Amino acid sequence: MKFIGKKCPVCEAEFQENDDIVVCPRCGAPYHRDCYQQKGKCIFPELHKKGEAWKSDEPEEEISEEDEFNECLSCGFKNPKDAFVCEKCGEFLKPAVPGAKSKKIHFGGIEAGFTEFDGNDEDGEESPGGFPLPPGLHISAEIPGTKPDEDFDGVSGKEMVKNLGQNSLYYLPIFYRIKEFNTSRFNFAAFIFSGGWYLYRKQYLKGTLITMLTLAVNAAQLLITYFYSGAMWQRAFEELGAKSTIPYYSYIEWMSNNCTLLGSVLMVLPYVLSIVSWVIIIACGLTANRSYYKFSLKKIKKIKEQNPDASEEEILGIISRKGGVNNGLAFMLIACELILTVASLMFTSVG
């Protein structure tokens, strides 16, 4: 507890380890709970007016350099004082440097953590990785993974940027966390567009397989509902009254009396296929970033192996041409997939 040994401004007794302490939310002054309730308010209104923080009258205890550390607010791990991401969980750390503030920037749809200082540094116009930033934004702590010479399992940060193209500032910190901590994050774009996202990122084999699987599931769901199960469910609802109070076993009994075994399976199959469709898109969201990282490494290494005599500039040019995204193909297939998905949902929701 950081207030141990400090004095309560009301009773002037030093805080002990097991004391019940409350802190003023405006100036940060600590009190024994009973002392604060006795006064009914903070006794430093002048600090509130000036917008200043409470400071103890006692001199600050000197901390030796070897005792300094940067504690992660997420998992509590004690990192080296100059660390900017937690060595245990990979989260951005609150800066240990006096006068610095942890912030997040939103730039071109990208969210990234950084440390801002009051003074302007030499590279105030762009981040350490060379990414342009909005005017007036100065950063001094690196965004993880954005150094040009960052090693991504044999691929440099500069090469990875050329391959990623759009949203490099979004993917590089994610790739850094995968490499260093084996942790990733959910990819909502892949969750929403599934195979279309993979095709957009030029992962053609996986994108084609996922898209074809999704289209097959949705098409089967649509056709079975349209040509058989929709009419059968409508008939069942009419004969049983379509009331929410009717137990499920009544529908099962109705199917056994009015349908063959195959017919009963076909009545239930569209709902099973709907669950399968959800499993596919959730799996895409969970695995997309790791898949993209492995795909990027493999492609860049293959380019370098195929061009052993090329200069660094030529290699970067080839990576840039073969990397990036494919808008046209992805959008065309996404449109087809969305049309089938909406149609299947409309036909499945009978009654």
Considering the domain boundaries, does residue 62 fall inside one?
no
Domain that holds residue 173: 83-181
- What are the structure tokens assigned to 65, written together? 């350099």
Give the least confident one: 111-115, 181-185, 247-251, 332-336. 111-115
CB contact set of 31 (below 8 Å; sequence gap of 6+) = 8, 9, 10, 21, 22, 23, 24, 39, 42
Give the whole-angstrom CA distance, residue 107 versus residue 109.
5
Q: Are residues 208 and 297 in the same domain?
A: yes
- Percent pLDDT > 90 in the chain is 17
Q: Are residues 289 and 316 in the same domain?
A: yes
Report phi then psi at 236, rounded to 5: -65, -40
Please say whether the beta carbons of 349 and 206 come within 8 A.
no
pLDDT tens sequence across 176-192: 889 988 988 899 999 98
Give the least confident one: 117-126, 199-208, 256-265. 117-126
Considering the domain boundaries, does residue 29 fall inside one?
yes
**Which 8-state DSSP code applies to residue 59?**
P
At 198 the three-state DSSP class reads helix
Considering the domain boundaries, does residue 66 fall inside one?
no
**Which 8-state DSSP code applies to residue 115?**
E
Is residue 135 pLDDT above 90, yes or no? no
Q: Are residues 111 and 211 in the same domain?
A: no
The pLDDT score that the predictor gives to residue 66 is 44
Instruction: With CA atoms as reference, report the closest residue to 67 among 96, 93, 100.
Output: 96
**Beta bridge partner(s), residue 106:** 111
Q: Are residues 155 and 192 in the same domain?
A: no
Considering the domain boundaries, does residue 73 fall inside one?
no
Is residue 339 pLDDT above 70, yes or no? yes
- Percent pLDDT > 70 in the chain is 69
| Number of DSSP helices (H) and strands (E) in the chain, helices first | 12, 8
Please say whether the beta carbons of 129 and 143 come within 8 A.
yes
Domain total in the chain: 3
- What are the structure tokens assigned to 32, written together? 């024994």
Please say whether the beta carbons of 288 and 269 come within 8 A.
no
At 53 the three-state DSSP class reads coil
The pLDDT of 221-231, averaged and rounded, is 84
Is residue 160 pLDDT above 50, yes or no? yes
Would you report the helix, strand and coil content of the chain in percent, each value rounded to 5?
A: 50, 10, 40
pLDDT classification of 93: cutoffs 50, 70, 90: low
Q: Are residues 274 and 160 in the same domain?
A: no
The pLDDT score that the predictor gives to residue 346 is 64
At 31 the three-state DSSP class reads strand
At 24 the three-state DSSP class reads coil
CB contact set of 152 (below 8 Å; sequence gap of 6+) = 145, 160, 175, 176, 179, 293, 297
Considering the domain boundaries, does residue 67 fall inside one?
no
Q: Are residues 309 and 237 in the same domain?
A: yes
Give the least confident one: 33-42, 114-123, 230-239, 240-249. 114-123
Q: DSSP for 130-195?
A: --B--TT----SPPTT-STT-EETTEEHHHHHHHH-TTHHHHHHHHHHHHHHS-----HHHHHHTH
In the predicted model, what is the mean pLDDT of the chain? 75
- What are the structure tokens assigned to 8, written together? 């309560």
Please say whether the beta carbons of 75 and 25 come within 8 A.
no
**What CATH number does the domain containing 1 carry?**
3.30.40
Give the whole-angstrom CA distance, residue 150 versus residue 146.
7
Instruction: With CA atoms as reference, report the closest residue to 288 among 340, 210, 173.
Output: 210
The pLDDT score that the predictor gives to residue 123 is 37
Give the whole-angstrom CA distance, residue 323 versus residue 341.
30
Considering the domain boundaries, does residue 26 fall inside one?
yes
Q: Are residues 172 and 199 in the same domain?
A: no
Return the beta strands (E) in the chain as ranges.
Answer: 21-23, 30-32, 70-71, 78-79, 101-107, 110-116, 151-152, 155-156
CB contact set of 242 (below 8 Å; sequence gap of 6+) = 351
